[in-house]
Structure 1
């Protein structure tokens, strides 16, 4: 048997390959689940945007792919508007919504009363403030839809809006500790705003947060324990309904010592009685009615071109 000594480069490559196998990976089912959740989220957000701009807004079924920060720099070199959304309750993590600067300008123009044909060439502070307000309402409604899906409260902090140049900057999810080869999930939607925008928006999510979202929904669908809805969501856990059924049974069913039976004997049941109707009240109004009947009225009826009084008609 021949033994060959590995070079340092080969050893480093093997060690790097071992570390790569430990990275979190998304299965096809998890990717499909994440796409469905993103579709629900953006669908609700599109409805909110439609009410803000006064035009019909459509979001198509998303396309999902796994990418990295370095690939984003190559594929999207132009500046974009980045909307950073941090989940604070129900889910813990951050994702970023990416919108083209021109599309953001059209939304601003529509919100300010324009027709969308004259968007600002550069987004100034007032424009970013308007976009921030729109994104705040859109992301808030999207979070509400996720609360309904997960059957528990999902809260976000107010989104932060900035202009991001992928060629020079990197998305910040964990305080700037991301690496160029860190894998991210890119969900691409086609956004159509009636007669003014036909473009794409992207939702970028770290792999770890994407797994958290998809695993929670899969666990909810499969009925695994540990995801009991909180009281604020409006949905009651199964145990509460059972306890209430037991309580109702305790109220109705007499106990063995007869205490409930004694309480029931104190209740007296009587048939409903109605007061007799007085038939002498109606004739009291006949006097006033007679006064009305005594008022003489003159009627004329026109039949064709001939005019006749009622008296003449009756005498015919």
Structure 2
């Protein structure tokens, strides 16, 4: 290439429509993503960090600073490279709109902090209740991300139910395939030391997102050959600049004078310039849920009413008979618990409707109490 001539391989590539982007491939391209695709994906994820930081901040009632991520293409064996030894893994795969595996990785100390804030406790252990709280945070992040990704590709993107575990970095559940994509987000919660939030994608899911988000116009432009430059009458090939676009010879082409443009004046001088109207920057705490909740409206869930509970020795239970009175842990007239799928969601008072019992809802349980009810 030093003498300006093309090699036979380069000539073959041009004849096959491959363009002349020689030398652009690197290890990322060999593994499924080019540097340009990695940059596009990083920009897409960078547009999500604002809503995600607002959602997480609202859940833990602390200031959350989440920065745009760096994106790496890694082999499965490199998924945990450079990460803390202990992590909470929230695996939330894509189930509709796009397909592929996906998960969040939160360092253990940050996970403890998030769970403690959500449960209103300090120094919590990462038991089942704490992991359930962290999973709720992960579902919120994944929901807002799915909405933004769905808007960018013109599809409704849905997430599968989450599966949360405390793991070693060597035990990360890596997506199937020869490579994966890892995004690393700088994270600061209130005044704590800086840390990171990590996100793992299967390479197929990223390629599907990028392919759908490119759109037909961008795909067509990407396929243009270097020699396919637009030409302007009276100017050099590919030059849009002339000092006066009114001299493009439109009248000679039979088009006549175009409305809104003076005969000898430049088109840019006649443009109708208006200020851009930006939408208000009000964070939407539940944008993810609002985008997809309509799809769940016809799902049945088990609702029960609990009068109270008690514990008895086995010998007492075996000695029960007709007429035995069991004392419960609730006072007479105290509100009863309303459970959905065995989770407390409200309290109410017992009423009689014709000959049936019913419950009048008197109180909706706060999200904090719901999380504490997981234990």
Per the TM superposition, whether the score is higher than 0.5 is: yes
1:56 aligns with 2:67: no
Is 2:77 the counterpart of 1:81? no
Equivalents in 2 of 1:77, 1:130: separation in Å? 21
Q: TM-score of the superposition, structure 2-length normalised?
A: 0.48
**2-side partners of 1:156 and 1:98: how far apart?**
17
Cα distance in 2 for partners of 1:77, 1:141 equals 26
* 2:184 counterpart of 1:183: no
Partner of 2:194 in structure 1? 198
Q: Which moved further from structure 2: 205-214 or 96-105?
A: 205-214
1:119 and 2:120 equivalent? Answer: no
2:76 aligned partner: 69
Instruction: Classify the secondary structure of the residue corresponding to 1:35.
Output: helix
Match of 1:243 in 2: none
Contact 2:187 2:195 in 1 (8 A): yes
Q: Per-residue deviation at 1:146?
A: 1.9
Q: 1:171 aligns with which of 166, 170, 173?
A: 173
Q: Among 129, 145, 150, which residue is 2:148 paired with?
A: 145
Name which one, 1 or 2, has greater alpha-carbon Rg. Answer: 1
Please report the RMSD computed on the Cα atoms of aligned residues, expressed in angstroms: 2.8
Give distance in 2, aligned partners of 1:54 and 1:38.
24
| Offset at residue 94 of structure 1 (A) | 1.4
Change (3 A) 1:203 1:73: closer
Q: Could you tell me which residue of structure 2 aligns to residue 207 of structure 1?
A: 203
Deviations 1:92-118 (A, max 9, x none): 11111111011011011111224xxx3
Aligned to 1:216: 212
Q: Which residue of 1 aligns with 2:160?
A: 157
Kindly state the Cα deviation for residue 81 of structure 1 after the two structures are TM-superposed.
0.7
Counterparts of 1:100-139 in structure 2 under 5 Å?
Answer: 100-114=107-121, 118-120=122-124, 122-139=125-142
Query: SS where residue 120 of structure 2 aligns?
Result: coil
| Long gaps (5+) in structure 1 | 1-19, 225-232, 235-316
Higher helix share: 1
Post-superposition shift, 1:197?
5.2
Q: Per chain length, whose mean CA-contact separation is higher, i.e. which structure has more relative contact order (CA < 8 Å, sep 6+)?
A: 1
- Relative to 1, partners in 2 of residues 1:55 and 1:21: Cα closer, same or farther, differing over 3 Å? closer
**2:126 aligned counterpart, secondary structure:** coil
Distance 1:62 1:42 in 2: 9
Q: TM-score, normalised by structure 1?
A: 0.56
**Shift, 1:145, TM fit:** 2.0
Contact 1:41–1:143 (8 Å) recurs in 2: no
For structure 2, the residue ranges without an aligned partner over 5 or more in a row are 1-26, 221-290, 293-375
Count of paired positions: 197
- Partner deviation per Cα, 1:169-216 (whole Å, 9 max, x = no partner): 242434xxx5xxx32211111011112352111111122222111121
Q: Do the aligned partners of 2:31 and 2:73 also contact (CA within 8 Å) in 1?
A: no
Once the two structures are superposed, residues 15-38 of structure 1 have per-residue CA deviations (whole angstroms, 9 ceiling, x without a partner) of xxxxx9996521122101111222
Give secondary structure in 2 for the equivalent of 1:202. strand
1:128: Cα distance to partner?
A: 0.5
Question: Partners of 1:221 and 1:103 in 2: how far apart?
Answer: 43
Matched, 1:27 2:34: yes
